[in-house]
Amino acid sequence: MFMEELKVENETLRRKESILNSIPDLVIVFDSAGKIAYISKSVCAILKFKVEDLQESSFWGLLCADSERLLKAAFMDSLAAKEEDTDSVPLGQGVWEIRMIDKDESKKLVALHGVVHFTDENPQCVCTIRPLQQYTTVQVPSDIRHAHPMSSKISTGSSSASSKESVAESLISRGAVTESTTDGF
């Protein structure tokens, strides 16, 4: 009976890992020292690292200095904000815009959303990370017609700088991104 229970539990864990690995956003779990406990396979597409390269390494080493200070302070604030009957606390207020460093040492502007979990003596932060530049790079083939999100007019798609700026301005006006995401680094 014990072996059958282990097989079922193992299969359940494999299905859950498969689900996590199918999410296009980077999913990462780390403790207050920054030690990475889990990182999804999307790290290859986003930061050009292999999962094996980062297991048991420090999340703090993947951040620019200002972003590292910001998230360490937010993590500590979350630890202090824990209430007695709670298992988790949000990492700060909402989504963080931070800069990460990829394998080529290029800086990537990303959105990070996290929750600190208190399931044992060593609290862990579970985060999803999404590149922000995907919202400002718009490539639409010229033979496709599309509606501008802020207009009732139909326009011909274009990858020109003016149409990219128009889409970026639209995203900014709707609050989907902040103006800093369109300015580069």
At residue 71, does pLDDT exceed 70? yes
pLDDT, tens digit, 9 for 90 and up, residues 31-45:
999 999 999 989 988
pLDDT, tens digit, 9 for 90 and up, residues 131-162:
986 544 445 455 444 444 443 333 334 444 44
Residue range 2-131 in CATH 3.30.450.20: yes
Give the pTM: 0.66
Alpha helices in 32-140 (DSSP H): 43-47, 51-54, 65-81
Domain boundaries, the chain: 2-131, 135-182
At residue 67, does pLDDT exceed 90? yes
